[in-house]
Amino acid sequence: MQVQEKIKHLWVAVLAALVIAGCSSTATEPVVEQQPATEVAEVVEVVEVIEETGPGFAADNTTPVDASGNPISRTFYFDFDQAIVSPADFAALSTHAEILRANPSRSVIVAGHCDQRGTREYNLALGESRAKSISAILVANGVSARQIEEISYGEEELANPANNARAWAQNRRAVVSYR
């Protein structure tokens, strides 16, 4: 209803202007042309602020994700009889470190694993070395050592129980778990 009333008022104003214009007098004085009024338009720039978020956790609050929301690898593989972290894993570990620095109340367990070759004692020691290697990189990236617990499962928790090269490669790992 308000729109119709506004339209009526507009029509009345237009008609009144036409009537007044039709009744204009014949002036003997020269008519001075007026310059058209310059319309000033205010330009408003709309800027969408996109807050860049760093890495953190997915909606489940346990899955670590990068700044794009993609899950980060939590499993890091090792060569036979080695506890040397691959340079290809440094980026993921750096992201884990960033998450832990931003969330000082969170902590991780780094579990070292081995394949079933070697003695039980040897594999427990090698699993511990693998966990410590991952832990050392996190600490080097600014994570408090109090946020990290290291554990070795040796050959006790195999990812793949088969006894072949592919299975052995899958079992030589360290896994980062958040709590």
Q: What is the pLDDT of residues 64-122, one digit of tens each?
A: 888 888 888 999 999 999 999 999 999 999 999 999 999 999 999 999 999 999 999 99
- Starting from the edge strand earliest in sequence, which strands make up the sheet with 148-154, in order? 75-77, 173-178, 108-113, 148-154
Given the DSSP bridges, would you call strands 148-154 and 108-113 parallel, antiparallel or unpaired? parallel
In a domain, 39, yes or no: no
Res 17: pLDDT = 47
- 154 domain-assigned: yes
Looking up residue 123, the CATH number of its domain turns out to be 3.30.1330.60
Residue 21 covered by a domain: no
Counting residues of the chain whose pLDDT is more than 70, the rounded percentage is: 70
Asked whether the predicted pLDDT for residue 4 surpasses 60, the reply is no
Give pLDDT tens digits for 28-55. Answer: 566 566 666 666 667 666 655 444 567 8
User: Considering the domain boundaries, does residue 47 fall inside one?
Assistant: no
pLDDT score of 7 more than 80:
no
Does residue 108 form part of some domain? yes
- Asked if the structure places residue 37 within a domain, the reply is no
What range does the domain containing 145 cover? 56-178
Q: What is the reported pLDDT for 57? A: 82
Q: How many domains does the chain have?
A: 1
Is residue 144 assigned to a domain? yes
Counting other chains too, the contacts that 95-98 makes at CB distance below 8 Å and 24 or more residues apart are 95/55, 95/64, 95/66, 96/64, 96/72, 96/138, 96/143, 96/176, 97/137, 97/138, 97/141, 97/142, 97/143, 98/54, 98/55, 98/141
